Amino acid sequence: MSDYFIKHFYDQVKDPIWPEITTYNDFLKLPESIVTECNTMHNFPLRLSELEDEHYWQRQIGIGYQYNNTVYVPVLKCANSYYTNFFRDQLGWAEVKLHNLNWNNITAFGLLMNPMTRRVKGITQVLTQSFNNDYDSILQLLATPNFSKFIGTIQLLDAHTVPYHLSFGKLLNKIHWIPMEPFTDEELKNQITCFLATNNVSISIPNDKRINQSSSSKQKVFTAIQNIFLSTEPAAELGLMFAKDIKFYNNLLNTYAPLHNNNQRRS
């Protein structure tokens, strides 16, 4: 990734007679005069420091939708299409960058699902998009030993599978998260409206189905991928990548007050 941005930076500022580069190592081998010009006149060290800073990348992707002092934070694969459409397009909440907000003056909320379930849903999304929703071809491919082995050992694919703690960093603990799996869609809507009511925001969410819900064919692909993962011993690297997310989500389930209040009433 860094090679792309380093080359892009260099190509924008280079003189036509300068050598071509493709990596940072190539940059270091340039004549001293070129390196000096890039560093002093074009501030290459600043660009390099950005590439090396995970907080810089978090600032690029963290967006929300704000009304007064309340912010909805969308998360890919966590009903984000439906609620982005609702808060942004229907209610007109303004798009904001999360890292530009004064977190002492706002209350943010969002939905989260089990991180490993989200990962399977994300991989399903990538495959179905790559194959233009040709579910039969995907299922046939998943049934072959070689591709099944590939799917069983991959760690991440695209933005839909990036762990929560990498996406949000320190902001993860500042957002009021509502766990998805314990609730039906109707109950989730009620959780959102009740939370907003405590922040003096009164809304009514339509009693309709969420858009982008999985079709029966897509659900078959999800189940096939999930079965592959359930029968494949995960690599330690996968645990290393998702341990923080798993701990965070399990703690959310254990501490989410409305969930335990409901359980007490049912018992």
Alpha-carbon separation of residue 55 from 2, 155, 159 (angstroms): 15, 22, 16
> Average pLDDT by consecutive 10-residue portion of the chain (267 residues)?
85 94 94 95 92 78 93 96 96 95 96 95 92 93 93 87 92 96 94 95 84 76 94 88 96 88 51
DSSP run (H or E) holding 109: strand 107-112
Which pLDDT score is estimated for 220? 94
Placement of tokens 């493709």 in the chain: 22
Could you tell me which residues come within 8 angstroms of residue 46 by beta carbon, excluding any fewer than 6 positions away?
none
Q: What pTM did the predictor assign?
A: 0.82
Predicted pLDDT of residue 264: 46
